[in-house]
Amino acid sequence: MKLNLFITAITPGIALGLIFYLFDRHDREPIGMLLKVFFMGMISVVPTIIVENFLLSFNFFGGILGIFYISFIVAGFTEEYFKRRVVLKYVYFNPVYNEKLDGIVYCVMSALGFATIENIMYVVFRFSDVESIGLYRAVLSVPAHMLFAVTMGYYLSLAKFSATPEHNRHFLSKSLTVPVILHGIFDFILMSNLELLMLLFVPFVIYLWIANLKKLNLYYKDSKNDVNSDNDDML
């Protein structure tokens, strides 16, 4: 195993994780919990692969329908389910999850842990002879996992801090279904290799960035206001 390929594979996930840690500066999360979620996101690759291989055995479709099944069900649903499961199991009911921004931060950490192992699999082992794969995945694939996680965390926090059980169930459902749809569209465009769809890829990626930066900025402002409010109460 080439050391430079391994470094190339792990750098994007670690760098983005560090950025999110520094971004959450008003009520920063415990490093131990962040690392735990990141690590469990890495571990979640194992059951994901098992389920994906199982679901692939039911892909009796051909052509575009087969690609749709792989994009939305095999990859989209399975990967987003297990990344979200990490947060639900280890953080959702923990006292450290005490503001809306935390949902995004922890979902991103789980997703980046997952993406880091996935990156190692692709860059170091599966396509080690393709020099451009590391750059391609650093620019597109790993950030995509992060952006899906921002959406997941956004709705997960709406569920956690909702006022009614009905709203809780509604947003808890959306915390899975919306990332699955976004993930499925992303994979479907790339896997279909259709010129018309490829023309939509760049606008779709731009949409992902704009929409999720808005969600992130909204919860960042909430975090800042909560801290300022607590400081005012202490005066």
The model's pLDDT over 128-137, given as tens digits with 9 standing for 90+, comes to 888 789 999 9
Give CA–CA dist 190/207, Å, rounded.
Answer: 16
Q: What's the pLDDT at 1?
A: 57
Assigned token pair, 195: 């010129």
Residues 27-63 pLDDT 10s? 889 999 999 999 999 999 999 999 999 999 999 988 9
How does the average pLDDT of the chain come out, rounded?
93
Report domain extents, the chain. Answer: 3-222
Q: What's the pLDDT at 227?
A: 59
Whole-prediction pTM value? 0.94
In this predicted structure, the answer to whether residue 224 has a pLDDT above a threshold of 90 is no
Q: What's the pLDDT at 130?
A: 85
Residues 98-113 pLDDT 10s? 999 999 999 999 999 9
- Binned at pLDDT 50, 70 and 90, residue 229 comes out as low
Cβ–Cβ < 8 Å for 219, 27: no
In this predicted structure, the answer to whether residue 212 has a pLDDT above a threshold of 80 is yes
Can you tell me the mean pLDDT for 8-25? 93
Residue 36 zone, left/alpha/beta (φ > 0; ψ -120 to 50; rest) = alpha
11 vs 233, higher pLDDT = 11
